[in-house]
Amino acid sequence: MCFSARPLAGALCRWLIAVLPALAAWAPANAQNAVFLSEGRIEFERKVNLYAQMDHNDSWSDLQKKTMPQFKTTWFDLYFNSDKTLFKPGRENPDNNKLWEQPAEENVVFSDLGGEKMTSQKKIFESLFLVQDSTRRIKWKITDENRTIAGFACRRANAIIMDSIYVVAFYTDEILTSGGPESFSGLPGMILGVALPHQHITWFATKVQAVRVNPTDLTAPVKGKKVDPHALRQTLKESMKDFDKNFLQRNMEAALL
């Protein structure tokens, strides 16, 4: 309680007595509004910088650039519950009909995070593969950098995968599932952004929807020739043995992500 003979102090005391109960009532209500999702749908925008992927800076490359956009954009949906995710192609981009198809750009990836298992359906040129593997173990290094993606506060983490591919990821702990686009997972929350700077590819969430997800909708793809990552690598090496080294490396990386 406040006791004072001074008018100003008395007025302050009366104001505090009036306001403090309202503040006390507001704080629990505001805390109850905090939402932590454990199921829903996320739309991802995948962008490839086609100009940057060109192997040579010559007159032929300059001519190609005049007939094509700099970026190829595709859309994917990620459905998730507490321990499973399904990443698959989303709405179509009619502009892509004018561009060449790259390996493994229409992947369907099912991840059983609790069971540490992953099944990926990959279209590579004219062949469809069903790759069965354990979930990728990534040694993430969490940093102090923050940014907001699709309305969620995210924190940056870096890693190296496949021996040489540098990965920048942004995750939010406001979505409890430890998943992400493609085969990226293993952070303390959902990954909403991934960039591969040297491969010139990014995946960023554009919207997150808190919707009910039927467990029967979170199932692994079944179509395609069953292979493990090693067998897929050998098959690709054989099929692309006559291509130049840069083309082979870029397409191998895309197929094995």
Q: Is the dihedral of CA 187, 164, 101, 130 positive or negative?
A: negative
* pLDDT value of position 200: 94
Q: Is 186 left (phi over 0), alpha (psi -120 to 50) or beta?
A: left
Count how many domains the chain has: 1
- Residue 160 within a domain: yes
The answer to whether position 213 is within a domain reads: yes
User: Distance between CA atoms of 133 and 136, rounded to whole angstroms?
Assistant: 8
User: Is 107 inside any structural domain?
Assistant: yes
Report which of 192, 203, 226, 246 is spatially closest to residue 105, judged by C-alpha positions: 203
d(CA 41, CA 186): 19
- Compute how many other C-beta atoms are within 10 angstroms of the C-beta atom of residue 65: 13
Range of the domain at 199: 40-256
Residue 204, Cβ density class (10 Å: 0-12 exposed, 13-18 middle, ≥19 buried): middle
Is residue 34 situated within a structural domain? no
**Cα angle vertex 124, ends 70, 226, to 5°?**
150
Q: Is the Cβ–Cβ distance between 85 and 177 less than 8 Å?
A: yes
What integer pLDDT is reported at residue 55 of this predicted model?
A: 62
CATH of the domain at 82: 2.50.20
Q: What is the pLDDT of residue 57?
A: 66
pLDDT at 153: 97
Note the pLDDT tens digit of each residue in 3-42: 444 444 454 445 444 444 444 443 343 334 457 899 999 9
Task: Give the C-alpha separation, 93 to 219, whole Å.
Answer: 25
Q: Say how many C-beta atoms besides its own lie within 10 A of residue 220's C-beta.
A: 18
Other beta carbons within 10 angstroms of residue 18's beta carbon come to 9
- Give the pLDDT score at 24: 40
**202 part of a folded domain:** yes
Q: Which two tokens stand for residue 98?
A: 């004018």
| In-domain check, residue 57 | yes
Is the residue at 17 inside a domain? no
In whole angstroms, how far apart are CA 40 and each of 128, 169, 186, 211? 28, 20, 18, 5
pLDDT along the chain (257 residues), means of 10: 45 46 40 72 95 73 78 95 97 79 89 97 92 96 98 98 96 97 98 96 97 94 94 86 76 84
